[in-house]
Amino acid sequence: MNKDISDAMRFSLFEIWGETGRRTQIKVSGNSMKPLIDQNWTLIINHTKNIKIGDIIVFKKNGEMIAHRVVRILSKGILLTKGDALLDLDPLVYKSEIIGRVIGANKGNKDVDYENPKWAIINYFIAKYSYLTYIIFNYLRQIRYIFLGNRNKNLTIFFSKAYRMSTTFFPSLFFHLI
């Protein structure tokens, strides 16, 4: 019961903080944005609703804060997001659920400034690539079910591993080149 109250208070504090135009820092606890953002990194969030494709945003969904990349904007207030290391898209994200946009990240002596113009280009490319690989993977998954049904699980495992490798290869390459 106390956890629900503290989560609600935390979200309210983030909303109030966002109205002041100040920045917030949060610590990452998952691996869904690997390799660019890893567990125990600190994210710097600018509380803005001005979002574009490629931005990494923090939003609230089912009582949790999630930091994922915007891969598509469906309409003025509805976004498609996806963790870089995940196979599927997130449920639709509505503008009212957005806490802010990640403008930087750091862990120890490693800092990333996502407001740097080169990161804007890289993040846009990663978003487009991630969405395209998601579409291709889903078509392959549908074709497999049409021809094989549920009989060949090894093929699914192969496609999943290939997809995960492809979605983490380009972000890793960019991260190490910069």
CATH number for the region 1-178 comes to 2.10.109.10
Single pTM value for the model: 0.77
Instruction: Find, among 45, 177, 21, the residue nearest to 106 by Cα.
Output: 45
Convert the pLDDT of each residue in 7-27 to its tens digit.
Answer: 555 555 556 555 666 678 888
Per the CB < 8 A criterion, the answer to whether 68 and 83 are in contact is yes
Tokens of 109: 């002596």
* pLDDT tens per residue across span 41-85: 899 999 887 899 999 999 988 888 899 999 999 987 899 999 988
Domain ranges for the chain: 1-178
What is the C-alpha separation between 26 and 7, in angstroms, rounded? 14
CA-to-CA distance for 151 and 136, rounded, in angstroms?
A: 21
